[in-house]
Amino acid sequence: MKTILYIIIATLFIVAACQKNEPSSTTLNFDNTGNQNEDNKDWLIPIAEVRDGGPGKDGIPALSDINFINVEETTYLLDNDLVLGFADGEDVRAYPHPILDWHEIINDDTENHSLAVIYCPLTGTGIGWDRVINEQITTFGVSGLLYNSNIIPYDRLSDSNWSQLLLKSVNGELAGTIPKTYNLIETTWKTWKEMFPSTKVVSRSTGYNRSYLSYPYGDYKTSKNLIFPVSNLDNRRHEKERVLAVIINEKAAAFTFENATTTFKLVNHIFEETKLAVVKNTNANLILAFNRVLTDGTLLNFEVIQNELPTILLDEEGTKWDVFGRGISGPRKGQNLEPIQQMMGYWFSFATFYPEITLY
């Protein structure tokens, strides 16, 4: 029955996509067995493991020209709905899962950034990519292809295909190119709006007819079952458990909510010779990793600040830091902690792409 449900959902995506014109682009060639033809060589990932997800190229339409609303106008989100958050100075924006579940990519522009929010509902992973490639601004679309159940975006500048979780282009003119990334904060709508009451929120007025009040994949979030096969499974955690993955030097470490209390807990770790401060709180639905070493080599010792979100850390010099790693008061006000590549997602996804993943 679940297989039938997923087929129906994929069909609905295809039908719904026809309700608005999409950018025209070529599609990768598949034969009638679903396997790629010889025309599609030059992949940096095993071609036999690149799968057609069903809706086809742009069958799941990425969003551009976004309409934003304020907190008071945001009536379609429940407190426990997840959002991905980004900040460009005082311009703070929320990209809700209920929108991303249906569109997967949002191309957005802030004053200082051309941002693509890349989200995969099958792996639960979301991250921001810079849309400036080779000094030209592009947009990203949904190719309709999957690798290890994870989204393969394509850029409309070169029509190259990218792997979200490998964090690089894996096919086409830009194969091997690594995108500049922006960490997005994933938490509940309740926590986000309390931290940033003046946040902008993506509106349901997207130009598409979608049921944003319903989740399109049935019981997928809680079931152990996957829709598409993957190359590696690790039974140390439930497949769909949400964890934070830190990715350094093409290696990953995962941090769970386990042992987190209703107050923030801070633990220092060293991963790939990087000194980390990891903060987590189950009640706030937040796990964040911070770099303790500044660009000048200074090693900071942090203590966690309770009940002052978005302020979250205090160092021994007296500087307070917020959830984005920005110094907001004290001697280092205006400085930023060195970013660490990280994203939330389902445990199985990180264990699949990084089989030697370290689990804390």
Instruction: Report yes or no on 223 lying in a domain.
Output: no
Highest mean pLDDT out of 21-35, 108-122, 252-266: 108-122
pLDDT at residue 15, as a whole number: 37
> How far apart are the two ends of the chain, measured CA to CA in Å?
36
Whether the predicted pLDDT of 346 surpasses 80: yes
- What tokens does 299 get? 């090693």
Same domain flag for 67 and 188: yes
Instruction: Report yes or no on 248 lying in a domain.
Output: yes
**Which of 200, 234, 264 is the endpoint of a domain?**
200
Give the model's confidence band at 5: pLDDT under 50 very low, under 70 low, under 90 confident, else very high.
very low
Say how many domains are in the chain: 2
Half-sphere exposure of 155 (CA within 13 A, CB side): 28
Instruction: Report yes or no on 207 lying in a domain.
Output: no
User: Tokens 């350094």 label which residue?
Assistant: 248
Closest CA to 86 of 204, 195, 163, 247: 195
Same domain flag for 113 and 38: yes
The domain that holds 315 is classified in CATH as 2.102.10
Same domain flag for 248 and 121: no
Instruction: Report yes or no on 319 lying in a domain.
Output: yes
pLDDT at residue 40, as a whole number: 52
Whether the predicted pLDDT of 18 surpasses 70: no
Same domain flag for 179 and 319: no
Same domain flag for 79 and 193: yes
Same domain flag for 76 and 155: yes
What is the chain's mean pLDDT, rounded? 90
Same domain flag for 20 and 132: yes
Strands lying side by side in the sheet with 286-291: 265-271, 274-281, 286-291
Rounded distance, CA 94 to CA 192, Å?
8
Same domain flag for 175 and 31: yes
Same domain flag for 155 and 90: yes
Percent of the chain with pLDDT strictly greater than 90: 87
Whether the predicted pLDDT of 19 surpasses 50: no
In this predicted model, what pLDDT tens digit does every residue of 86-102 receive, in sequence order? 999 999 999 999 999 99
Instruction: Report yes or no on 219 lying in a domain.
Output: no
In this predicted model, what pLDDT tens digit does every residue of 29-65 receive, in sequence order? 444 334 444 445 689 999 999 999 999 999 999 999 9
Same domain flag for 185 and 332: no
Rounded distance, CA 61 to CA 142, Å?
7
Instruction: Report yes or no on 237 lying in a domain.
Output: no
Whether the predicted pLDDT of 127 surpasses 60: yes
Query: What is the SS3 assignment for 188-244?
Result: EHHHHHHHCCCCEEECCCCCCCCCCCCCCCCCCCCCCCCCCCCCCCCCCCCCCCEEE
Mean pLDDT of 296-313: 97
**Which of 144, 179, 200 is the endpoint of a domain?**
200
**Which of 200, 215, 230 is the endpoint of a domain?**
200
Same domain flag for 249 and 145: no
Instruction: Report yes or no on 229 lying in a domain.
Output: no
Instruction: Report yes or no on 214 lying in a domain.
Output: no
Same domain flag for 129 and 12: yes
User: Tokens 């004290």 label which residue?
Assistant: 330
Cα-Cα-Cα-Cα dihedral of 305, 281, 323, 351, to 10°? 140
Domain holding 25, by residue range, is: 2-200
CB 122 within 8 A of CB 146: yes
CB 39 within 8 A of CB 47: no
In this predicted model, what pLDDT tens digit does every residue of 68-79 receive, in sequence order? 999 999 999 999
Mean pLDDT of 290-300: 96
- What tokens does 165 get? 């979780």
Closest CA to 156 of 170, 173, 168: 173
Give the model's confidence band at 109: pLDDT under 50 very low, under 70 low, under 90 confident, else very high.
very high
Q: What are the helix (H) ranges across the chain?
A: 2-17, 97-103, 189-195, 347-353
